[in-house]
Amino acid sequence: MKKIVSLILILSIVFSLVGCRTNEKLVPVPESTEEAKTPETTILVAAAASLKNCLDDELIPLFTEHNPNIKVNATYDSSGKLQTQIEEGAEIDVFMSAAMKQMNTLNEKGMITEDSIIELLENKIVLIAPKGSEKEISSFEDILKADVIAIGDPESVPAGQYAKEALENLKIWEQVLAKASLGTNVTEVLNWVAEGSADAGVVYSTDAISNENVEIKIEAPEGSVSKVIYPVGIVKSSEKQDAAKLFTDFLHGDEALKIFETYGFTPKE
C-alpha cells in the first residue's frame, strides 16, 4: 500500500512539472541587434572663390562632424565659371554664388530646385594695396594713382562686375581698364596685389582680411555699387536633394552664421 501511495505521489509531481513547462512562454531568439548602417553620401558644393577659407577650414568639417554619413567635397572658382559648369551638366549638388546674377540666371532656366534659394550673406567691395604701400589713397578715385590695377574679369567674376559698376558710377572705368589686369577669379586678383605685381586692386573685404600682405585702403562709396549678396541654392539635377538640403539648412543656422561673421561676412537679414 505504501508503495502504491509513493508511486502516485511521484507521478503527480512529474505531471505537475510537465504542466508547468508547457505553460512557459517561448521567448523568440532575437535577430541581430546590429543596426543597418546608412550608406555614406557624398555631395559636391560649387562655391565662389571668396568662400574657400571659411568653408574648408571650419564649416565643412563642422557639418561632417554633425552629419558623419555625409561627405562634402567642394570646388571653388568664379561664380560665372561655376554657373557655366552647372549649365553644361556638371554633377554639382549645391551652388554658392558671390552674386545674385548667376543664381537668378540658373533659376530662370529651371536648373535650381524650387524654393531652395537662400540669400545667405553680404560682403563689401574694397580698394586694396600691397602692405606698406606708400601711395596716398584717400578716395576710391585714387585707384588711378596705381600703375597696374588688378580687377576680376567682369565677364565672369562677380567681384569684377561689382568693381566695374562702382568705377563706372565714379566715371573712371575706362581709365582704370587701360591699366587693368583682369583676373579669372577674386583670389587671383588678391594674390597679384599681395605679391606686388599689381599696385592696387578691387576685391571683397573678406578677401582682404584673409591676407596679411594687403591692406584695405577704402571701401567703395555708398550708392556706387549694388549690395553684394551671396546666395546658396540646390541644383535641380542633383540626385542627393535631402543631403544637399541638410547642408544648406546648416549654412543658414546660427552656428554657421557666427562662423561666417568671423571671416568678415554679414548674415543677410
**Residue ranges per structural domain of the chain:** 41-122+229-267, 125-219
CB atoms under 10 Å from CB of 80, counted, come to 26
As given in the structure block, the three cell numbers for residue 47 are 562655391
In this prediction, residue 3 carries a pLDDT of 47
Buried b (16+ CB within 10 A) or exposed e, 14-47: eeeeeeeeeeeeeeeeeeeeeeeeeeebebbbbb
Query: Which amino acid is residue 257, in one-letter code?
Result: L
Lowest mean pLDDT among 28-32, 37-41, 70-74: 28-32
Closest CA to 230 of 113, 99, 106: 99
Work out the average pLDDT over 155-173: 96
DSSP 226: -
Q: What percent of the chain clears pLDDT 90, i.e. is strictly above it?
A: 82
Predicted pLDDT at 269: 76
For residue 153, the model assigns a pLDDT of: 96
* 125-219 CATH: 3.40.190.10
Q: What is each CA distance from 47 to 9, 206, 233, in whole angstroms?
A: 88, 15, 11
Best CA proximity match to 193, nearest among 171, 174, 217: 217
User: 218-255: per-residue pLDDT in tens?
Assistant: 999 999 999 999 999 999 999 999 999 999 999 999 99
- Look at 1 and 165; give whichever has higher pLDDT: 165
Virtual CA dihedral for 157, 143, 208, 99, nearest 10 degrees?
Answer: -30
- Residue 28: pLDDT over 80: no
Residue 37 clears pLDDT 70, i.e. is over it: no
Better-predicted residue by pLDDT, 3 or 176: 176
Mean of the pLDDT values across residues 129-149? 93
Percent over 70 (pLDDT), the chain:
86
Topology agreement, domain 41-122+229-267 and domain 125-219: yes
Contact residues for 153 (Cβ-Cβ < 8 A; gap 6+) = 78, 160, 182, 183, 184
Name residue 170's amino acid: L
List, for residues 77-120, the tens digit of each pLDDT value: 999 999 999 999 999 999 999 999 999 999 999 999 999 999 99
What pLDDT sits at residue 27?
Answer: 38
Calpha distance 204→208 (Å, rounded): 7
Q: pTM for the complete prediction?
A: 0.79
* C-alpha dihedral, 172 to 230 to 150 to 58, nearest 10°: 150
Output the average pLDDT for the chain. 88
| pLDDT for the residue numbered 51 | 96
> At the fourth CATH level, which superfamily is domain 41-122+229-267?
Periplasmic binding protein-like II (3.40.190.10)
Average pLDDT of the residues in 131-142 = 91
The lowest-confidence range among 16-20, 39-43, 251-255 is: 16-20
Q: How confident is the model at residue 12 (pLDDT cuts 50, 70, 90)?
A: low
